[in-house]
């Protein structure tokens, strides 16, 4: 059984921090299925470690999971800095200051499920290669990456192309009763503050996911849940109401 050196352990553990991930252009993936999906999606494997080779104690030291998987891989980070050309018939998602890693990972998985054409995020969103984001995406991050960019500039690009920008707001129109186009940009906001005022001003339509509860009810929906419901309605309309 081989042992990792102190410097190797330090290097791997440092990848839990965004600064070191950016400097080394690498990130961690844990689990057989996740690593297999990454390799099948064309990601470059830089190193891999197995419990059978390094022992449970050392795997526990380098793992970010409470129950370490039997394999941990370090992958080359892809270049996601270029904003792709916006397609006039595409449906895109933009995230404004989403900070929770679990939410972001789940949203990536949701976008993979519903076939969203692209995901954008403000610069202050949680990093997509955060280990918790990667894990929560359940492999979808290898098919749906995020472009971090200036969302105000992005919104103006959509407007200049004559494409609608939708946002979900508590004072919006009932999503089940208003007209929805199958293309454009859907904007989801921060977990506590929602969509920022500067971005609201650029939206062409504001949508509300109504509550069906009688009497007192939850104040709002989790951003990942709201994203799933919103995308589901857009895709349902596009498929069944043409």
Pairwise CA distance, residues 192 & 103, whole Å: 13
Is residue 223 within 8 Å of residue 103, measured between CB atoms?
yes
Residue 191: per-residue pLDDT:
87
pLDDT in tens, 102-120: 999 999 999 999 999 999 9
| Per-residue pLDDT, 82 | 81
What dihedral angle (degrees, nearest 10) is formed by the CA atoms of 33, 120, 19, 30?
-10
User: What sign does the CA torsion over 63, 67, 71, 73 have?
Assistant: negative
Residues of the chain with pLDDT under 70: 1, 242
pTM of the entire predicted model: 0.94
Task: Read off the pLDDT of residues 197-232 as tens digits, 9 standing for 90 and up.
Answer: 999 999 999 999 998 988 888 888 899 999 999 999
State the pLDDT at residue 242.
61
Domains with residue ranges and CATH for the chain:
6-76 (3.30.1330.30), 91-240 (3.40.1280.10)
* Tally of CB atoms within 10 A around 119: 22
Question: Who's near 42: CB < 8 A, 6+ residues apart?
Answer: none
Give the per-residue pLDDT at 240.
Answer: 82
The fraction of the chain above a pLDDT of 90, given in percent, is 83
């Amino acid at each position: 059984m081989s042992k990792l050196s102190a410097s190797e352990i330090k290097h791997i553990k440092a990848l839990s921090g965004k600064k070191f991930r950016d400097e080394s252009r690498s990130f961690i993936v844990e689990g057989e299925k996740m690593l297999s999906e990454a390799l099948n999606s064309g990601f470059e494997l830089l190193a891999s470690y197995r419990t059978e080779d390094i022992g449970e104690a050392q795997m526990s030291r380098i793992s970010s999971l409470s129950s370490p998987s039997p394999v941990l891989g370090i992958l080359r980070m892809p270049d996601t800095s270029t904003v792709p050309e916006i397609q006039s018939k595409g449906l895109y998602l933009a995230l404004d200051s989403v900070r929770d890693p679990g939410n972001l990972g789940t949203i990536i998985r949701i976008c993979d499920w519903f076939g969203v054409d692209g995901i954008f995020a403000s610069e202050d969103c949680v990093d997509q290669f955060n280990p918790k984001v990667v894990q929560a995406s359940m492999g979808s991050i290898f098919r749906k990456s995020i472009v971090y960019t200036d969302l105000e500039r992005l919104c103006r690009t959509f407007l200049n192309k004559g494409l609608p920008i939708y946002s979900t707001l508590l004072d919006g129109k009932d999503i089940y009763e208003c007209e929805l186009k199958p293309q454009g940009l859907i904007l989801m906001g921060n977990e506590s503050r929602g969509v920022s005022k500067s971005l609201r001003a650029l939206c062409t339509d504001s949508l509300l996911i109504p509550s069906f509860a009688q009497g007192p009810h939850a104040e709002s929906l989790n951003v990942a849940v709201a994203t799933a419901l919103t995308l589901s309605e857009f895709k349902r309309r596009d498929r069944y109401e043409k």
